[in-house]
Chains A and B, each alone.
Chain A
Amino acid sequence: MSKRTTRILVVDDEEIVRESLVSWLEKDGYTMDTAEDGPTALGKLDSASWSILLCDLKMPGMDGLEVLDRVKKAQPEAAVVIMTAYATVDTAVKAMKLGAYDYLVKPFDPEELSIMIQKIVAQQALLRENVILRKALKRDYRFRDMVSKNSSMQQLFELAKTAARSSSTVLVLGESGTGKELMARAIHAESPRHAAPFVAVSCAALTETLLESELFGYEKGAFTGAMTRREGKFEAANRGTLFLDEIGDISPKLQMDLLRVLEERRVTRVGGTESLPVDVRIVAATNRDLPKAVHEDRFRQDLFYRLNVITIHIPSLRERKEDIPLLAETILERLSVEMHKEVDGLSSEAMALLVTHSWPGNVRELRNVLERGLVVSKGPLIQAADLGLTLSPAKEVRPAHPASLAEVEKEHIAMVISQTGGNISQAARILDIDRVTLYNKLRKYGLRRDGEEIEET
């Protein structure tokens, strides 16, 4: 059973040693391969993962201890057994310190070899079972595509599942990148409306007039350029869910229009006269402090009440650091499928680095860092250095000669965006411009809002 997946690599410069080990062990049903020196063995680590390496100590060029050291870094789960012609306590101790599983003196007693290999196989099977067990547990930490083991997040998942069954409006709050859109999609997927469309509108990306026709549609001739009639997102989302993202950014006029739609459940196209009934569940989201905006008269109180029926406030990532390993593993699995690049996971130092980072850009920033790590990584594990989480986030490299104003602006925007982990409102605040302007500048300079596709409008 487990034998079929047990892969053993024999590393020895002597051909007869390689051949005799292969012919002995292949009769146990193990998958065998050989390497005649250290570099060849290390090359084989890139292409496959190994359960056991039987590695000669004395080899010309790279010796067994160096191979061991490198293997332990690249594939920590692999059991490395050092083989040598003479037992020297010194090297034995060194090998064990470097993480060797055991140390065998050639020639081996057949029983000793077979017992050792069986022991390794059994232990690794146990480890694999643990991983499967952990995966089963992970499933319970899940709400659709969202994962979390944080207790307040779990409560939110429960609340969201209940809310999903109704058609009540849901307001999702939380810093940028905390998963507000993912939550909105999960609610839709969990709801009886899941077969109908989920339509997302980013309210901050558009000017007032554009957003208005985007939401409500327009009649032919409603304004210059309105050559044909177009349906709005409310109509497109009929029987489904309309996700109003960055709702905190809409203008007073639109706030009023929206309030009317929510009250009447009817929309009137721009330039139109009759109103059409719409059956839409609204999920709105913002990373702004809405109550404060209401208090400061920047957001209509009546609209706030309309939206604030069920509130889901997603905590920032630094308030739930216990989620970082789980999120990192989950996101990495998804990324590796998307990017067709396989990795076994993160090295322990890399994971430690992730857990200590403060994540101003929350889960999106984590995703971006992992994406970079996946692209850069060479071995089966992503190493700490692959993550590019340097101490100073600012770019050190500057153009050697004076750059144009536009170049400096582009450079500066890119830096601020990356510092905020793609958090647009935070970046806009730092730059002291509004979000629409920032979106326009991103488009102008061809800068991507990192890690996320720009919402189709």
Chain B
Amino acid sequence: MSGVRLWWMAGGAADTSFLSPAVTAIGSVYKLPVRLETVNARPDGAFDPRRNQHSSTRILNWLSHHYPKGATRLLAVTDYDLFIPILTFVFGEAELNGKTAIVSFARLLVQDGALIPRDRAARRLAKEAVHELGHTFGLLHCKSYRCVMARSASLKDVDMKEPALCSDCTARYAETGIGKEPSDE
């Protein structure tokens, strides 16, 4: 089946209620079917004991090697705290114009050291999921801070944006022609 595969790579079975805003947002923004799957396998060597974090780039590589046949895109959702070597952390990472993306909710659950309501965290996750997938469709960071493609360098950035593309980014996504092909179910 083509469409977005959403792999739950956190503890237990996929938390559907927590993921539901993300599933809805991805479907409505990119006009693609979304399939949720629980994946128990974990990449080796992505953990950096010195930083006590996981390398998002390594996980992306692993995802590429385990890419499900026929999928339009693959997005992993993890509870690992992610980093890229030069930054202290990242909320997620994606291959620009590639096929794979990852988002982490490790840092989305809190505000100023305290847990926030789960539905607020789920909304944040939805935005970051749409954002990282946007990069795989070739979208760059957007100057409109309300656009989901606005840069996410802090929680403040995440909270300011909507889980939707601005009109410019919508037009750019439309140019890819993805999300227009008739569903093959």
- What is A's interface to B at a CB cutoff of 8 Å? 14, 16-17, 19-21, 23-24, 26-29, 83, 106-111, 113-115
Contact = CB atoms under 8 A, between A and B. Distances in A.
A107 B82 CA distance: 13
Contacts of B151: 27-28, 114
A16 B96 CA distance: 17
Interface stretch (B68-76, B85-93, B175-183): B85-93
Contact of A110 (B96, B140, B153): B153
B87 A24 contact: yes
Contact of A20 (B86, B89, B135): B86
Contact of A108 (B57, B86, B135, B140): B86
B153 A20 contact: no
Contact of B140 (A16, A27, A115): A27
Interface in B24-39: none
Contacts, number: 59
B85 A110 contact: no
Interface residues of B, number: 18
Nearest to B58: A16
A20 B90 CA distance: 11
B8 interface: no
A7 to B, nearest CB: 15
Nearest to B89: A110
Interface SS of chain B: loop
A27 B153 contact: no
Given A27-B135, A28-B151, A114-B151, A107 B141 contact: no
A24 to B, nearest CB: 6
Contacts of B111: none
Interface string B145-158: 00000010110010
Given A27-B96, A28-B141, A17 B154 contact: no
A28 B87 CA distance: 15
Contacts of B88: 107-110
Contacts of A19: 57
Given A23-B96, A26-B96, A27-B96, A113 B87 contact: yes
Contact of A107 (B85, B96, B140): B85
20 contacts: A17-B86, A20-B84, A21-B86, A23-B93, A23-B96, A24-B84, A24-B86, A26-B140, A28-B140, A83-B86, A107-B87, A107-B88, A108-B87, A108-B88, A109-B87, A109-B88, A110-B89, A111-B153, A111-B154, A113-B87
B137 interface: no
B127 to A, nearest CB: 16
